[in-house]
Amino acid sequence: MITTGQIIRCKAAVAWEAGKPLVMEEVEVAPPQKHEVRIKILFTSLCHTDVYFWEAKGQTPLFPRIFGHEAGGIVESVGEGMTDLAPGDHVLPIFTGECGDCRYCHSEESNMCDLLRINTDRGGMIHDGESRFSIDGKPIYHFVGTFTFSEYTVVHSGQVAKINPEAPLDKVCIVSCGLSTGLGATLNVAKPKKGQSVAIFGLGAVGLAAAEGARMAGAGRIIGVDLNRKRFEEAKKFGVTEFVNPKDHDKPVQQVIAEMTDGGVDRSVECTGSVQAMIQAFECVHDGWGVAVLVGVPSKDDAFKTHPMNLLNERTLKGTFFGNYKPKTDIPGVVEQYMNKELEVEKFITHTVPFSEINKAFDYMLKGEGIRCIITMGA
């Protein structure tokens, strides 16, 4: 059946109200416009960011909305002006983009594209501000430009990474967000040398991906820090060799880690979102060469406070967005690392549900069960 240029009717999980279970609806998906592609989503997974904006506590509520931004699929059709993507391509839609033209895209040092940088308040497409989804003619808003909780979606081509068609989409779909964020924070920013020690603060999906990066880099010791001891068992599969629960100690974590490592770790990666943990992650690196990388998203009014001497003593503090990966240029390479068996993806996948039971994926995340839940479309 030729669907190019036609409206497609398909199933989507619509969030009608903040915090209420998603409802399976038949939606109309408009054809892609200039620089857009329409993608048949085959697998999607749930990330914390979807849950934060679905709960809409402290964020601008925008409903009805279709969430979802970790996914894999196949291009169904392309809009005008498309040269790098064609129907049949295997792709990962990504919540942040790469226009290829702006100062950030031209810079080797940044991935924060001016045009397509993540925007959680926008509910329509960049091209015309309109949504490509509707029910009975009424628009359903978008989320971070990807909205993958639908059998078909329309995405700006700058937010689409074309990957190896041999790669299993039910696995590599998780490369499109959380996994790459943590992995890149270690491999691209902290850059531990072989044999060095790395502390990972926060052992959620992002922190475990940071640990996976440390394992791949050949780190000698990987120290996991978390307030939740339940996280430690799972983290062993990710090469974390030692654990510190700040609650078990009377002294500051910085001091505990300094004592364990003869003065501090060589690298640290913070993946908690807690400003206390950010300060600890910085102050626990060794003077002279230690590098700390912040990944977690803090609260609005947080402030980072440390004595400037900690910096003068040759410690480096860095931050990263999406692991410094450029979505179109670099993400296909992360998929290749999986194909070459350097990167282990399977261990992140702890649950699978059919699309019709997508609300279960929300339950798992809200209960803090498992790491990633794959949602199989068409099931």
Instruction: Indicate which of Zn ion, ligand NAD, none lies near residue 105 (CB less than 5 to 8 Å, by partner kind).
Output: Zn ion
- The listed partner (ligand NAD, Zn ion, none) that binds 113, CB under 5 to 8 Å by sort, is Zn ion
Cα 192 to the chain's mean position, in Å? 21
Q: Which two tokens stand for residue 229?
A: 């001891």
Distance (Å, rounded) from C-alpha 86 to C-alpha 37? 9
For ligand NAD, the closer of residues 123 and 178 by Cβ is: 178
| Binding site partner of 74, from Zn ion, ligand NAD, none, Cβ cut-off 5-8 A by kind | none
113 included as an active-site residue: yes
Cβ proximity to ligand NAD: between 150 and 272 the closer is: 272
Indicate whether 54 belongs to the interface with ligand NAD (CB under 6 A). no
**Partner interacting with residue 206 (select from Zn ion, ligand NAD, none; CB below 5-8 Å by kind):** ligand NAD
DSSP letter at 175? G
Give the three-state DSSP class for 363: helix
What are the C-alpha distances in Å from 131 to residues 2, 140, 148, 153, 228? Answer: 23, 7, 14, 11, 40
- Look at the chain and count its residues: 379
The catalytically annotated residue of 10, 173, 177, 284 is: 177
User: Residue 379 contacts by C-beta under 8 Å, 6 or more apart in sequence?
Assistant: 354, 355, 356
36, 65, 96, 113: which one is catalytic?
A: 113
We find the least distance from the C-beta atom of residue 65 to Zn ion, in angstroms, to be: 25
Specify whether 70 is catalytic: yes
Binding mask 227-256 for ligand NAD (x = CB under 6 A): xx--x--------------x----------
Residue 99: contacted member of Zn ion, ligand NAD, none (CB under 5 to 8 Å, by partner type): Zn ion
CA distance 353 to 135: 25
Q: Which of residues 98-117 bind Zn ion (CB under 5 A)?
A: 99, 102, 105, 113
* Residue 62: how many other CB atoms lie within 10 Å: 17
Q: Which is nearer to ligand NAD, 6 or 228 (CB)?
A: 228
Q: What 3-state DSSP class applies to 223?
A: strand
Should residue 273 be labelled a site residue for ligand NAD when binding is judged by CB under 6 A? yes
Q: Looking at 277, 279, 291, 373, which residue binds ligand NAD (CB under 6 A)?
A: 277
In 3D space, the residue among 183, 60, 151 whose CA is nearest the CA of residue 354 turns out to be 151
372 belongs to the catalytic site:
yes
User: What is the phi/psi pair of residue 273, to 5°?
Assistant: 90, -5
What does the angle CA 276 – CA 257 – CA 221 come to, to the nearest 5 degrees? 115
Contacting residues toward Zn ion, per CB under 5 A = 99, 102, 105, 113
Contacting residues toward ligand NAD, per CB under 6 A = 48, 178, 181, 201-207, 225-228, 231, 246, 271-274, 276-277, 295-297, 320-322
Please identify every residue annotated as catalytic: 47-49, 69-70, 99, 102, 105, 113, 117, 177, 372
